[in-house]
Amino acid sequence: MTAVAGAHVRLVDRLEASGALTPDWRQAFLGVGRHLFLPDLFWVSTSDGYERCDRTENPERWLQLAYSDAAIVTQWDDGADNGQREPTSSVSMPTMVASMLRDLDVQEGHKVWEGGTGPGWNAGLLAERQGAHNVVTVELDPAVAAQAAANFRALDAVPTTVVGDAADGYPPGAPYDRGILTCSVREVPPAVIGQIRPQGVLVLPFAPLFGGGAVARLTVAGATAAGPFTGSSAFMRMRQQRYQAPPVDDYLPGDWPGGAVREFTDLSPLGVVDDWLASFVVGLAVPDLYYRRSDGGDMTTLWLFDTGVTSWATVDFVDGAGRYEVRQSGPRRLWSEVEEIVRWWVKAGRPGFERFGLTVAGGAHRAWLDEPVNLLPSVKG
Ligand SMILES: C[S@@+](CC[C@H](N)C(=O)[O-])C[C@H]1O[C@@H](n2cnc3c(N)ncnc32)[C@H](O)[C@@H]1O
If you write DSSP's letter for every residue of 28-91 in order, what string do you get? HHHHS-GGGG--SEEEEEETTEEEEEETTT-HHHHHHHHTSS--EEEEEGGG---S---EEEEE
* Residue 166 Cα: closest atom of ligand 1: 20
Query: What dihedral angle (degrees, nearest 10) is formed by the CA atoms of 225, 231, 234, 237?
Result: 0
Domain 248-347 top-level CATH class: alpha beta
Q: Ligand 1 centre and the CA of 151: distance in Å?
A: 15
Contact partners, residue 293, CB within 8 Å, separation at least 6: 270, 273, 300, 301, 302, 303
Amino acid at position 101, single letter: L
Going by C-alpha positions, the residue among 276, 204, 277 that lies closest to residue 235 is: 204
Closest atom of ligand 1 to CA, residue 144: 27
Contacts for 130 with CB less than 8 Å, ≥ 6 apart: 106, 108, 109, 110, 111, 112
**pLDDT value at residue 378:** 77
DSSP string, 278-304: HHHHHHHH-TTEEEEEEEETTEEEEEE
Say what the pLDDT of residue 381 is.
43
Q: Is 9 helix (H, G, I), strand (E, B) or coil?
A: helix
Element housing 354 (H / E): none
Query: Strands, E, within the chain: which ranges?
Result: 41-46, 49-54, 72-76, 87-91, 112-115, 135-139, 160-163, 176-181, 196-206, 214-221, 224-232, 261-265, 289-296, 299-306, 312-318, 324-329, 356-361, 364-369
DSSP 8-class letter at 375: B
Listed residue (162, 204, 199, 156) closest to 181, CA to CA: 204
Ligand 1 pocket by C-beta < 6 Å: which residues?
88-92, 115-118, 120-122, 138-141, 144, 165-167, 182-183, 235-236, 238-240
Whether residue 312 contacts residue 329, with contact meaning beta carbons closer than 8 Å, is answered with yes
Q: Is 45 a catalytic residue?
A: no
pLDDT tens digit at each of 381 positions of the chain: 899 999 999 999 999 999 999 999 999 999 999 999 999 999 999 999 999 999 999 999 999 999 999 999 999 999 997 889 999 999 999 999 999 999 999 999 999 999 999 999 999 999 999 999 999 999 999 999 999 999 999 999 999 999 999 999 999 999 999 999 999 999 999 999 999 999 999 999 999 999 999 999 999 999 999 999 999 999 999 999 999 999 999 999 999 999 999 999 999 999 999 999 999 999 999 999 999 999 988 999 999 999 999 999 999 999 999 999 999 999 999 999 999 999 999 999 999 999 999 999 988 999 999 999 999 997 654
Domain 3-182 classification at class level: alpha beta
Among the listed residues 89, 90, 92, 233, the single catalytic one is: 92
Domains in the chain: boundaries: 3-182, 248-347
